[in-house]
Amino acid sequence: MSTRKEGFRTGKSGVDTYILFMVYPNGPSTIYCTPRVSRRMKYLRTCNCFLISTMATSDMTRIIRNIFKDIRLELSDEFDRNFERQGFFSEAWQRRKSPTRPGGSILIDTGKLRRSIHSRSTDNSITFYSDLPYAEIHNDGGEITVTEKMKRFFWAKYYATTGSFGRKKNGELRKDKRTVQLSGEAEFWKHMALMRVGSKITIPRRQFLGYSPEVEKAVREIVEENLEEYFKSDFKL
């Protein structure tokens, strides 16, 4: 099994697609050469030439189709669960530093990013992708450059936040918990709005798609299970 993470953007049918991860399961003859296999698979490996030469083309096509279907379903579920785990399998995501949603869930404020993750398969690969332009930088981390448009957005958030302050009849701010929290949020947006055009904002890596030992293990097990099931039924091992 081999995997590759793509860091490029490709357009399709006029809609941008951000390819985040691709999986390339090798064919059965390669799987037999892997070092960590079960006892049954070790036996099958010694019969490799015979088994492959006697496997019908239709059987090979069916097995590969089943393998790809199982991998696509399994990894789609595991990658989606990363949003629940709030981390990439056992690697926890960095917590928020901004006061906008302290202690809240990361990357699922609206659930739009989570719902944007899709997959498709070809004859030799499975691709996981998103049509959201900010999916890649959250998955890989990096820097974004402050623009005039971004500054206008930050100012709009600042004024919207200050407009929600709780106030007494004389106009003074209340000191309730909500107003105190909003005050901190307003200061955050003001700080962002005052950044110079061209300044850099660092986005921490919060990976939800990509290679991991868990991914390799899942793919390996699916391939072995499908091959073992075929050989068991046809060769009565």
Same-domain pairing of 124 and 159: no
At residue 172, the pLDDT reads 66
At residue 108, the pLDDT reads 86
Give the DSSP per-residue string, 41-77.
Answer: HHHHHHTHHHHHHHS-HHHHHHHHHHHHHHHHHHHHH
Burial 70-91 (b: 16+ CB within 10 A, else e): bbbeebeebbeebbeeebbbee
At residue 71, the pLDDT reads 93
At residue 139, the pLDDT reads 94
Same-domain pairing of 129 and 215: yes
- Written as six digits, the tokens of 60 are 């090979």
Same-domain pairing of 81 and 8: yes
Same-domain pairing of 129 and 229: yes
Same-domain pairing of 96 and 175: no
State how far the Cα of 147 lies from the Cα of 144, in Å rounded to an integer.
Answer: 9
Report whether 22 contacts 10 (CB < 8 A): no
- Written as six digits, the tokens of 104 are 């809240």
Same-domain pairing of 187 and 83: no
Please give the torsion angle defined by the CA atoms of residues 202, 207, 210 and 215, in that order, rounded to the nearest 10 degrees.
150
State how far the Cα of 40 lies from the Cα of 43, in Å rounded to an integer.
Answer: 5
Same-domain pairing of 132 and 148: no
Residues 6 or more apart in contact with residue 133 via CB below 8 angstroms: 16, 18
127 sits in the region (left: phi over 0; alpha: psi -120 to 50; else beta) called beta
Report whether 136 contacts 9 (CB < 8 A): yes
Same-domain pairing of 121 and 164: no
Same-domain pairing of 220 and 195: no
Tell me how many domains the chain contains: 2
At residue 116, the pLDDT reads 94
Structural domain boundaries, residue 177: 142-203
Same-domain pairing of 61 and 114: yes
Same-domain pairing of 225 and 110: yes
At residue 169, the pLDDT reads 63
At residue 183, the pLDDT reads 77
At residue 23, the pLDDT reads 80
Report whether 173 contacts 166 (CB < 8 A): yes
At residue 1, the pLDDT reads 44
Give the global pTM. 0.71
Per-residue pLDDT of the chain (237 residues; tens, 9 = 90+): 444 444 334 444 344 667 788 887 654 333 332 333 344 444 444 444 444 445 567 777 888 889 999 999 999 999 999 999 999 999 999 987 766 665 567 888 888 999 999 999 888 889 999 989 899 999 999 999 999 999 999 999 888 888 766 666 666 666 666 666 667 788 889 999 999 999 999 999 999 999 899 999 999 899 889 888 887 776 554
Same-domain pairing of 49 and 108: yes
State how far the Cα of 231 lies from the Cα of 141, in Å rounded to an integer.
Answer: 44
